[in-house]
Amino acid sequence: MGRVIVTVVGQDKIGIIAGVSGILAKYQVNILDISQTILQDFFTMIMIVDLAKAVVNLQELQQLLKEQGQEIGVQIHAQHEDIFKYMHRI
């Protein structure tokens, strides 16, 4: 499947990173890189993950992350790296 870009945005609160990384670990999705910051009260995070050894496909992961985001009160999106690059080119 390859690399996937995961973005997380929402009000800052305890447990966001744990909630997202917990889902990824549960389904054997490897985190390759992660960057997060807090802008005033807003938490933002972008992760590059690898689905090569994952036990879910991208569509399943997108749904799992969406549900986790609803549970913890943030928006989580996952896109294949190629689509992300295409959407954000200049």
65 phi and psi angles, rounded to 5 deg: -70, -35
pLDDT of residue 81: 74
Of 30, 86, 79, the C-alpha closest to 58 is 79
**What residue segments make up the domains of the chain, in order of their start?**
3-87
Class of domain 3-87: alpha beta
Of 63, 56, 90, the C-alpha closest to 77 is 63
Tens-digit pLDDT profile for the chain (90 aa)?
A: 689 999 999 999 999 999 999 999 999 999 999 999 998 889 999 999 999 999 999 999 999 999 999 999 999 999 987 665 656 565
pLDDT of residue 80: 85
pLDDT of residue 1: 61
The model scores a pTM over 0.85:
yes
Contacts 24+ apart (CB under 8 A), 12-20: 12/38, 12/41, 12/42, 12/43, 13/43, 13/72, 13/73, 15/72, 16/43, 16/45, 16/72, 16/74, 17/45, 19/68, 19/71, 19/72, 20/45, 20/47, 20/65, 20/68, 20/76
pLDDT of residue 85: 60
